[in-house]
Every structure is written in C-alpha cells, then in structure tokens.
C-alpha cells in the first residue's frame, strides 16, 4: 500500500510519465483515494504548465545587433570587450 510520502517521492516520475506500469497503477489508485495527493498532483502539473505557457519567447529588440557588434569588437581587438552593451 502506497503512503502519501511514497507517492510524493514518485510525483515527478508520475508527472513526467516515466514510471513502470505497475507503479503507475498503484499511484493512480492512491490518487483516487487521497484528495490531498490528488490536489498536489493537479496543482504541481498546473505550476509547470503556467510557467511553460507564460515565459516570453522573444528577446528584446536590438539584442542580436548588440551581440554581433560586441563580437566584432572583441574579434578585431579594438577594446577589452567587457560585458556591457555596445552602443
């Protein structure tokens, strides 16, 4: 019989669908009987989804151009480079 603590240790493998069939069934049985673990599973899954869905996928304007300018500067040895943005 799976305890809540056992379940918690397998939570990631369960969410990532990285479990053997027999253990997966045990976990699903536990989830059907334990509302707390069900809520933890549901809200952890939603936590991952909300980060995945709301992380900006673009870089601010000019980043590529400034990177290429810094690269050129470093390459031609015009300056020490440094980590600050090129003009």
Partner 1 sequence: MSTTPATSGTFDETSVLARAREGDVAAFGELASRYEQSVFRIARQITQNDEDAEDVLQESFLKAYEHLDSFQGQSKFYTWLVRIAVNEALMKLRKRRTSKTVSLDEQLDTGEDLVVREIAVWDGTPEDRYAREELRGILDKAIQSLPPIFRSVFVLRDIEELSTEETAQVLDLSVPAVKSRLLRARLQLREKLTRYFKRKGDDVFAYM
CB of 22 to partner 1, least distance (A): 20
* H-run or E-run covering 16: none
Kindly list the residues in this chain that would bind partner 1 in the complex (CB under 8 A): 8-9, 11-12, 15, 35-36, 39-40, 42-44, 46-48, 50-60, 63-64, 66-68, 70-72, 74-75, 81, 83-85
Instruction: Give the span between the Cα atoms of 84 and 73, in whole angstroms.
Output: 12
The Cβ of residue 24 has, within 10 Å, a number of other Cβ atoms equal to 15
Q: Which is nearer to partner 1, 28 or 72 (CB)?
A: 72
Could you tell me if 50 and 80 are in contact, meaning their C-beta atoms sit under 8 angstroms apart?
no
CB of 31 to partner 1, least distance (A): 13
């Amino acid at each position: 019989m799976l305890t809540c603590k056992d379940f918690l240790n397998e939570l990631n493998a369960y969410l990532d669908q990285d479990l053997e069939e027999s253990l997966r069934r045990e976990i699903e049985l536990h989830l059907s009987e334990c509302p707390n673990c069900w809520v933890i599973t549901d809200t952890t899954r939603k936590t991952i989804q909300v980060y995945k869905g709301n992380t900006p996928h673009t870089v601010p304007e000019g980043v590529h151009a400034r990177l290429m300018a810094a690269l050129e500067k470093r390459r031609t040895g015009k300056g020490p480079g440094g980590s600050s943005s090129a003009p």
